[in-house]
Structure 1
Amino acid sequence: MTRVRFFAAAAELAGAPEAERDESTLGDLRRALAAENPGLGRILPRCAVLVDGARTDDDVPLPAGAVIDVLPPFAGG
């Protein structure tokens, strides 16, 4: 299982600040989240998604116990 943490608008659209997931790759996770929640799916392509604090390719396997952060684009300056 992996722990997904949603921040700001992503948390609002996901309906919760966190979720436990079992997808095997980041790409699988992105597709599943978008299919389950179209609102989140609309912003997900613009979000920074970090696995254990680092960016990774969609096809890299997610390690058991990984923490995935979904950070929408932030406005301001």
Structure 2
Amino acid sequence: MITVRYFAAAAEAAGLDTEQLPAGTAAQVRAAMVGLHGAALDRVLGRCALLADGTRVEADDPVPVGATLDVLPPFAGG
């Protein structure tokens, strides 16, 4: 299992801040998130960065057992 942490708009779309999901590739984890939380989260995920233990992951990159995956939408800053 991995720990998924949702932030900002991703947390709002998922309806929670943290959950446990099976490990796999980033694409597999994303599919699991969308399967659980639906189209609203799918729309937000298209704009999000996924970081596994602080390192950005893309679709084919592994998210190993025990990792923390942060789902980070773009933030306005200055």
TM-score by length of 1: 0.88
Does residue 55 in structure 1 map to residue 44 in structure 2? no
Report the structure, 1 or 2, having the larger strand content: 2
Identity within the alignment, %: 49
Could you tell me which residue of structure 2 aligns to residue 17 of structure 1? Answer: 17
Unaligned runs of 5+ in 1: none
Take 1:50 and 1:62, find their aligned partners in 2: how far apart are those partners?
Answer: 9
Partner residue, 1:64: 65
The AA in structure 2 aligned to 1:9 is A
Tell me how far 1:76 sits from its aligned partner: 4.2
- Structure 2-normalised TM-score? 0.87
SS of aligned partner of 1:65: coil
What is the Cα-based RMSD across aligned positions, in Å?
A: 1.4
Contact 1:25–1:58 (CA<8 Å) still a contact in 2? Answer: yes
Alpha-carbon distance in 2 for matches of 1:48, 1:39? 16
User: How far apart, in 2, do the equivalents of 1:63 and 1:11 lie?
Assistant: 22
Uncovered stretches (5+) of structure 2, i.e. residues with no partner: none
